[in-house]
Amino acid sequence: MNSLELRAKGNLHIQQSIEERNPMSENQTQAPPPISPSPPIAPPSGTPAPLPPDEAQARTWNMFCHLSALAGFVGVPFGNILGPLLVWQIKKNEIPSVDAHGKAALNFQITVTLAVFVSCAIAFLLAFFCIGYLLFPLVILIGLCGLIFPIIAGIKANNGEDYQYPYSIEFVK
């Protein structure tokens, strides 16, 4: 046997093993299995239904009214007042709830700023009598309130709830 006959015999053997594995003839076509539509995925029972875009946008801007006060803590001079003031002035006519949240955030930030300045002045003046040093922790506590309460208010606003800041003087009505 020459090499061509061996190759043909080997190819015949390979071809037979392929046909044994594939019982379909070449002219038959097999239809793909039918695709059944998957059942719709229901949201878990603990999560609320998605909000319409207008409601979600209003909640987001309400949250920005409160959280924009944090600009004062990142180095913007009077950013704690300018942040809520700008968001309130830009969006108060488009979204009615921003008017209420913006006023509340602005009033609280003005109150905090005045309280910090007044308590600093009193602590400085009383420091000459060795009493004022006891008031400097009060200044730090007021500053922490100016940081913590806007975060709480921002979370509540994003949940669609109103938040009343404690000890806030109503400067803007």
Total domains, the chain: 1
**43-101 residue pLDDT tens:** 666 666 666 668 899 999 999 999 999 998 888 889 999 999 999 999 999 999 999 99
Three-state SS for 38?
coil
88 domain residue, yes or no: yes
Burial (CB < 10 A; 0-12, 13-18, 19+), residue 138, is middle
Q: What range does the domain containing 109 cover?
A: 56-158
Q: What angle do CA 95, 97, 66 make, to 5 degrees?
A: 105
* Cα–Cα distance measured from residue 16 to residue 22, given in angstroms and rounded to the nearest whole number: 10
**86-145 residue pLDDT tens:** 999 999 999 999 999 999 999 999 999 999 999 999 999 998 888 888 888 999 999 999
* Cα–Cα distance measured from residue 84 to residue 149, given in angstroms and rounded to the nearest whole number: 14
117 domain residue, yes or no: yes
pLDDT of res. 150: 96
Q: pTM above the 0.85 mark?
A: no
83 domain residue, yes or no: yes
Segment 144-152 mean pLDDT: 95
